[in-house]
Amino acid sequence: MGTTKDIREAVQAELKFDPLVDDGDIDVVKNVHNHLEVALSDADYRDDAMLTTAANNALAANVTVPDGVEATASDGNLTLTGTVGYGIERAAAEQAVSGLIGLRNVRDDIEISYEADQMDVDLHVQEALNRSALVPDGSDVKAVSTGSTITLSGHVRTWAEHDAVIGAVWMARGVAFVQDDIQITG
């Protein structure tokens, strides 16, 4: 990884390059502090009732999102609530509403509830990691479970491998939280 100056310049160049971003009001600093606010044009504005309806329709249309997951809107901000059995269902709910016109932010208050003993969680996580084609054989990635929380450590070579590990763990039954301590070696 380059120096702070190199990283700042690379981020500024990427923001300037992206035609969908007005980089005039974005300052790039050493640490990531996301203070960005979505500014909606009049054409993109939806009142809370319309946004709530659109979000709930999107949730209902997604076969991965179980019944009982609901959305409510307040000033363009959606809150997702309900209970699911898998992290992948929770992620699907967020994905289902993320592209809606008039959306400023999504708050995910969906709970993951699954009654599993510790040995089942460990087994499901290890099986998910073993099935992932992007997690290399001989990887030193370790998944330690405490209840429904999985703490990941070890090393991967790329962001794609990192994301594959995270995705594989979220696919495992009984996982409600993932603590990501994986290092990317490049």
Q: Both tokens of residue 81?
A: 């609530």
Domain of 170, CATH number, reads 3.30.1340.30
Residue-wise pLDDT tens digits, 70-82: 999 998 889 999 9
Domain stop point among 54, 78, 112: 112
**Contact criterion met (CB below 8 Å) for 143 and 129:** yes
Domain stop point among 92, 112, 132: 112
Same-domain status, 48 and 66:
yes
SS3 state at 184? strand
Residue-wise pLDDT tens digits, 39-71: 666 666 678 999 999 999 999 999 999 999 999
**Whether the predicted pLDDT of 108 surpasses 60:** yes
Integer Cα distance of 6 and 16 in angstroms: 15
Q: Which domain holds residue 59?
A: 42-112
- Please tell me the predicted confidence (pLDDT) of residue 96: 96
> Hey, what's the torsion of the CAs at 145, 150, 153, 156, to 10 degrees?
130
| For residues 147-167, average pLDDT | 84
Give this prediction's pTM: 0.58
Residue-wise pLDDT tens digits, 23-33: 776 766 755 66
Domain stop point among 80, 112, 144: 112
Q: Which of 121, 109, 167 is nearest to 146 (CA)?
A: 121
